[in-house]
Structure 1
């Protein structure tokens, strides 16, 4: 597996690891990323803990990387990680998680479909002793401010039923892009992940629950559909179904961490 050299817009502020790392996978997100980063910075500046935001450009060809560089030049908490070519959301999240320095690691979608303020609900679960807390759009207490189209919503619910049957029973929503991990759980899981595309969430939860027996809390969150989804319903849907079956039939115990040209920092 080869990569072009990563680019980092700025170094970590100091040698002390931040309390929270936020990993944001981004593929051609120039239009949506600016407001999202501004909202995250405003929110985390008001919190009592230190943080870093790692934007992982997954082979972007628009102005995503230049946008992040400009913001990082003014805000030391922001770092850009970039590589080419495009490898998929799962690869981007894994790339960022394995380079994050925080005690807790969140990955969130660039569009902030789940508002960043919802992280407080996830933090409370880790405070209570859980290793992982995941946002859910399909539980009692979830608030869907703006729904997807009927077709996408139906397809998503059908996929989640299939996932519960085959891989992770008890999890209502594997695909919500808002998940918080302890550092130990994150590195144990993501160092063993293989799936690069949108089914990576299922692999992460399968490893967490069925292989390593981490404590996982599913938490109802606010969520609003954002236009511009990169998921192609038919192509990616079929790929995800196939991947779920592969996950169920793969032996994960004992596999080694993926070989990366860059040192994990």
Structure 2
């Protein structure tokens, strides 16, 4: 149990079928922790926001249009009140008790704690599928060439930060889509932050709202943008407005 308030950010798009259950599971798993749950509705055209409020989310942020997971997490960080900030997937592919492992890593002194599906102790409760698995590995290898980061799994959907680290990193955030994870780790490395990797248990849930091939192309394009912006000196540790 930590003494810190923990902000749990749930980026959500068309999540009405799962948001109530997900909020309940997080509260149950973290019943001994001080938490605030922030649901960021990324331009959904269903009743994600209203159901999140009914389920007792502490804050519900509504983006006017679907901008992407990176934009949603960034909006959550902007309003987070906790000393620790964690984000995870709304479908809880990572069982919520694993958030406690993230908190332990932050308590131990890390600036960032990231889940890694490539960790030797990680487990897959259900497989993510051969095509997606190989696509993920190809993306990781290309990313390592374009944006050298000493982490084999940039895209794990469970990450935690101290509030200070989150604010500094996301103040520089420019990527709205799924490749924002690469940007987060790149900026953290640039700022010489301490990053701890932990094993995870993954129960893969097929997301009908995400089209794999178009997203993969967009992600690679965004990684190229990160590399270009880095060369141009666009990533500086100067204050900017979050959101």
Please confirm whether the aligned pair reaches a TM-score higher than 0.5, indicating the same fold.
yes
Matched, 1:22 2:5: no
Matched, 1:173 2:153: yes
Q: Shift in Å at residue 127 of structure 1? A: 2.1
Whether the 8 Å CA contact 1:134–1:219 is kept in 2: the answer is: yes
Matched, 1:60 2:50: no
Distance in 2 between the 1:214 and 1:200 partners? 17
Q: Shift in Å at residue 169 of structure 1? A: 2.9
Q: Shift in Å at residue 44 of structure 1? A: 1.8
Whether the 8 Å CA contact 1:18–1:52 is kept in 2: the answer is: no
Distance in 1 between the 2:207 and 2:221 partners? 25
Distance in 2 between the 1:112 and 1:254 partners? 32
Q: Shift in Å at residue 33 of structure 1? A: 1.4
Q: Shift in Å at residue 162 of structure 1? A: 1.6
Counterparts in 2 of 1:242 and 1:58: CA distance versus 1, 3 Å: same
5+ residue gaps, structure 2, are: none
Counterparts in 2 of 1:60 and 1:170: CA distance versus 1, 3 Å: same
Matched, 1:71 2:50: no
1:10 is aligned to none
Matched, 1:253 2:236: yes
**What secondary structure sits across from 1:31 in the alignment?**
coil
Distance in 1 between the 2:55 and 2:24 partners? 9
Q: Shift in Å at residue 230 of structure 1? A: 3.3
Please give the residue correspondences for 1:62-211 in structure 2 after superposition, counting only pairs within 5 Å. 62-72=46-56, 78-209=58-189, 211=190
1:244 is aligned to 223
1:4 is aligned to none
Matched, 1:233 2:212: yes
**What secondary structure sits across from 2:138 in the alignment?**
helix
CA deviation profile, 1:7-58 (whole Å, cap 9, x unmatched)? xxxxxxxxxx96100000011101121211110111222x1x3110000111
CA deviation profile, 1:214-258 (whole Å, cap 9, x unmatched)? 011111110111122533222111111111122122121155413
The alignment's C-alpha RMSD in Å is: 1.7
Q: How many residues align?
A: 237
1:3 is aligned to none
Counterparts in 2 of 1:259 and 1:204: CA distance versus 1, 3 Å: closer
Match of 1:42 among 21, 24, 28: 28
Q: Shift in Å at residue 172 of structure 1? A: 1.2
Distance in 2 between the 1:236 and 1:95 partners? 21
**What secondary structure sits across from 2:79 in the alignment?**
coil
Counterparts in 2 of 1:170 and 1:18: CA distance versus 1, 3 Å: closer
Distance in 2 between the 1:195 and 1:88 partners? 9
Q: Shift in Å at residue 174 of structure 1? A: 0.7
5+ residue gaps, structure 1, are: 1-16, 261-265
Counterparts in 2 of 1:229 and 1:162: CA distance versus 1, 3 Å: farther
